[in-house]
A and B are shown apart, each in its own frame.
Chain A
Amino acid sequence: MHLTSSQEQINLASRDELSRFLAEAERRAYKQALFAVRDEHVALDIVQDAMLKLAEKYAAKPMEELPLLFQRILQNTIRDYYRRQKVRSMWTTLTSSLIPQHEEDDYDPLDTLQSKDNNNQTSAPDASLEQLQLLALIEKALMDLAPRQREAFLLRYWEDMDTAETAAAMGCSEGSVKQHCSRAIHALAAALKAQGIDLS
């Protein structure tokens, strides 16, 4: 009887830890997925899949391991989505040549943000507007990065992982992480410079 109650206490504690961790990680995970797939609903599905996998298979792991495991699951789920998209687009190309292949190039998050800004133009302060524009530019630049570069950059500089952790989450060597990060920073700097912003 004593064993059962202590077992329950352990389970409850890990459940609370998992709940806290997911609550802290979910927004950033959503944004990461959104940068990668550019679709709100798909991004939410990806985050949900990653959460379910973590809760079902790895929740018994120590708390310190959860961030890295979750990132690894999230990145794998995003890559699975890319693979499915690749197969789907291959079949689409084979079956119909009428559908344009690079529809997503026309997508510009500035369009949606600008329309919102226009609606709230009278109430929003200038600083806030400038911040929104800056955010839109950075998000656009991040979305335009190559997937592995974006993955490395976000894990390294947003999730604050070191090179070894980033390499473990991405399933590659530390050298590759450094290379991806370096290229990402150069690409971001070039993209932002074109908009009049110096990334130094």
Chain B
Amino acid sequence: MSKKLQPEHIRQVLDNSLEQIEPPVLSRLRQAREQALARHDAAAARGASGWAARWHFDTPHYKFRYFAAAAVFAAVLFSGMTYWQHVHEATEVDVAILTDELPIEVYVD
């Protein structure tokens, strides 16, 4: 075999070779394509349920969660303030003991 061959001929030969792919291989390629499309459908469905979840976030159920979170925050804040007040009072008593200025009520208790 002695002949001239252009790079475009290589392309043409390769294109022609696609027609010679055997049926079992074509069948497996078709199956692979169908699986890929099924995967695409599943991904699209997940995307749709993601939208549903985002929409669900604005429902009253989630408003209740906001309220509960606010209530917990208020409780923590109240506890902190009470504790701080208690510590402040104890400090006042300590200072009074050290300076011998304790009021008579303390001894009565």
Contact = CB atoms under 8 A, between A and B. Distances in A.
Contact of B32 (A28, A51, A130): A51
Interface stretch (B34-42, B67-75, B78-86, B89-97): B34-42
Contacts of A192: 5
Given A59-B43, A134-B13, A198 B3 contact: yes
Secondary structure dominating the interface of B:
helix
Interface residues of A, number: 43
Interface stretch (B14-22, B58-66, B99-107): B14-22
A23 B29 CA distance: 9
Range of interface residues on B (Cβ < 8 Å): 20 to 34
Secondary structure dominating the interface of A:
helix
A91 interface: no
Given A19-B33, A27-B29, A30-B29, A188 B10 contact: yes
Given A19-B37, A52-B39, A55-B39, A138 B2 contact: no
Interface stretch (A40-48, A78-86, A161-169, A171-179): A40-48
Contact of A135 (B2, B4, B16, B43): B16
Interface of A: 7, 11, 15, 18-19, 22-23, 26-28, 30-31, 40, 44, 47-48, 51-52, 54-57, 59-60, 130-131, 133-135, 137-139, 157-158, 185, 188, 192, 195-200
